[in-house]
Structure 1
Amino acid sequence: MTYKQAQSIYGIQGRSTVLTWLRKHGKMDWTTNPRKNTMPKSPRANETPAQKIKRLEQELEDERLRCLLLNRVVDILDAEHGMSLRKKYIAKEQEAFKKRRK
């Protein structure tokens, strides 16, 4: 492969860039085609729709539990230690929501 071919294949504009690179790394085999940058296939690529739905439902349930845990921790900190970690507008919305629920 000539430097002009390398320029056209790899989209390199400067001649000196290619020549410098070839001097540095010139021991490579230029007869084969350049390898394409492809992303590795993830194990999720072979999932059936049912498996994907089940996995996503599990992730959703995990996030719900995580959210409940964090809210519970914040509630305990508010009640026992007098720390207000929530933003005020969130607290106001919660109070309004609690009033609507009753």
Structure 2
Amino acid sequence: MEKHEETRYVKRTQKDYSMSFKLQIVQEIERGHLTATAATKKYEIQCRKTVVNWLKKFGNFDWENQTPFTMSKSPEQKIMELEAKVKLLEKQKSFLEQQAFVADKKAIIFDMMIEIAEKEYQIDIRKNSSPEQSTILNKKNSKQ
């Protein structure tokens, strides 16, 4: 006769797992070695939610704001990021310098065109008002 082994379901609680065991699993997940589901299967934890609770309690992730706490970067990573920022800023600087150069040239050409138009057509294109007149005009305009 065959013996039927009775596999009983034993309900576990949070207290059944040691703190070191919980921390070990959290570290493995945070390092990317396992997912919460994979940890549940590998370590025969009854529910994925248990592992997620451990991550919330003991992990380095701010679950309320959905951003990691200050996860330290290696000096090499920091240097690489700073070098990338420097390159970007240098590109932006050269682009802006080029734009300023073009704007200056346009302003010079515009002034030359106005001078030529004034000489050719003998009209005053630019207003040549004295500072006193401009303040009087401003007062009149503000009253209206």
Per residue, is there more helix in 1 or in 2?
1
TM over 0.5: no
TM-score by length of 2: 0.29
Highest CA radius of gyration, 1 or 2?
2
